[in-house]
Amino acid sequence: MPQLFNVVTPQEAWLRLEPHLSPIGRVETVPARDALGRVLAKDIAAPSDLPPFPRSAMDGYAVRAEDAYGASEGLPAYLRVVGEIAMGVPAGIGLASGEAALIHTGGMLPKNADAVVMIENTRDIDASTIEVTRPVAKGENVIQVGEDVEKDEMLLTSGSLIRPQDIGGLLALGITEVPVFQRVRVALISTGDELVPPEEEPRLGQIRNTNAYTLASLALRIGAVPLRLGIVKDNHEALRQAAVRGMREADIVVISAGSSMSTRDMTADVINSLGRPGVLVHGVSLKPGKPTILASVDGKPLFGLPGNPGSAMITFELFVTPCIYRLGGCRQLPRRTELQARLTRNIPSATGREDYVVVKLEERGGELYAEPIFGKSNLLFPLIKADGIAQVPLDRSGLESGEMVLVKVF
């Protein structure tokens, strides 16, 4: 007999799970140069000023601004060139009144200089004299000590996802190692008496297990460590053993269940047998993805995802992905690639249900169109033909051809 679902909205489902989620908080230290995509585990303040000395922002002449006061094409200021600032060494020169030093971008300003005249605003008169044809303000074309970042200024806060430029910033200050949260481990269990591993030739009635690999790739892509625990038979004890192993070895357990009601109920029973509080949500007003299970046992989240490829992928992205970020200590979910596109066909739906339809994106005449790919959610290939997913909101009874929709690129 069909179990009566207590169906909740996707948002409500998340709100029921969320209070049970807490960051794993295990910290490890990695070289800053290899920290791309990792989550910073502590606030980092600048240990020193950057730059630590005044630098020229231009090629030109270091001067005392007052010496070029009022300079113009018609009435240039004449300055004596007392040397050239070599790169990478202290500017040995100090400027007296009326003196200038040739300087390159990034060079250290000599003592008493307070501005740089761009080379374009100078003319050579002889080997040791230049004309300055424009005045320069005090500090112009100079990067002051601490102008990039000041000592003790907050650089990056705990929970940031480390980007290429953040690595540059850390290294600029000599921070060559950073504490990051350990990667979140996600155990993936596939159930189904009909499943065989992909490398096996299925016999009549059997089908290759693919969800574990698609979901593992989704986890990997956002920096988690997938642990594929293989295929377990459709029986309570086998699934329970696999789930216990998942709880022991991973931070999140995902059971990609068979889609039949019996296996769904078994997944819920097994989860409830593991500990408290157990199943929090069993059934979400979502298409595809209705029979999704969200659960928590002893502080670890568990998910029972429907076995259909489309349902598994969409529910993973809706619930497991934010859970991975949360457990990984990531303060803010990175923005997904989302695009506005014009629907080419009606998408029927029902009010009170969030529908996801895979779409193909096409650019025609400079405009982006989303062509829905309809098909049973049991099918895998619509996901491959598609470029993304369009969402029909909960409160809409469908979307109309010609409407603009938000497409999450996948």
Which string of x and - marks every residue 107-126 that binds its own copies (by CB under 8 A)? xx----------xx------
Which string of x and - marks every residue 149-188 that binds its own copies (by CB under 8 A)? x-----xx------xxxxxxx-xxxx-x------------
Which runs of consecutive H residues, i.e. helices, occur in 92-230? 164-172, 211-221
Rg, Å, the chain Cα set: 31
Among 19, 205, 365, 366, binds its own copies (CB under 8 A): 205
- If one asks whether residue 140 binds its own copies (CB under 8 A), the answer comes out as no
Q: Which of 134, 118, 140 is nearest to 75 (CA)?
A: 134
Q: Which CB, 296 or 321, lies closer to its own copies?
A: 321
Q: Which CB, 21 or 172, lies closer to its own copies?
A: 172
Q: What are phi and psi of 391, to 5 degrees?
A: -110, 135
Taking CB under 8 A as the binding criterion, the range among 21-29, 51-59, 129-137, 342-350 that sits at the site for its own copies is 51-59
Q: Which CB, 129 or 378, lies closer to its own copies?
A: 378
Taking CB under 8 A as the binding criterion, the range among 12-20, 47-55, 237-245, 296-304 that sits at the site for its own copies is 47-55
Among 89, 126, 127, 365, binds its own copies (CB under 8 A): 89
Q: Which CB, 209 or 296, lies closer to its own copies?
A: 209
How far lies 17's CA from each of 37, 160, 295, 315, in Å?
Answer: 25, 23, 7, 14
Structure tokens at 340: 């506005």
| In 168-282, beta strands by DSSP E | 177-181, 185-191, 195-196, 207-208, 225-232, 252-256, 277-282
Residues 312-341 that bind its own copies (CB under 8 A): 313, 335-339
Judged by CB under 8 A, the number of residues near its own copies is 93
DSSP label at residue 319: I
- As a residue count, the chain comes to 410
Q: Which CB, 19 or 164, lies closer to its own copies?
A: 164
Separation CA 235–CA 191 (nearest Å):
9
Q: Which CB, 205 or 365, lies closer to its own copies?
A: 205
Q: Residue 297 Cβ, how far from its own copies at the closest point, in Å?
A: 26
Residues 338-367 that bind its own copies (CB under 8 A): 338-339
Q: Residue 334 Cβ, how far from its own copies at the closest point, in Å?
A: 8
CB-based contact 170:156 (threshold 8 Å): yes
Residues 216-245 that bind its own copies (CB under 8 A): 216-218, 220-221, 234
CB-based contact 178:29 (threshold 8 Å): yes
Query: What region, left, alpha or beta, does residue 141 occupy, with left being phi > 0 and alpha being psi -120 to 50 degrees?
Result: left
DSSP label at residue 50: B
What's the sign of the alpha-carbon dihedral 13, 14, 18, 23? positive
Burial class (CB in 10 A: 0-12, 13-18, 19+), 194: middle
- Collapsing DSSP to helix, strand or coil, 267 comes out as helix
- If one asks whether residue 204 binds its own copies (CB under 8 A), the answer comes out as yes
Q: Which CB, 113 or 274, lies closer to its own copies?
A: 113
Among 190, 259, 267, 292, binds its own copies (CB under 8 A): 259
Q: Which CB, 28 or 338, lies closer to its own copies?
A: 338
Taking CB under 8 A as the binding criterion, the range among 125-133, 189-197, 247-255, 342-350 that sits at the site for its own copies is 189-197
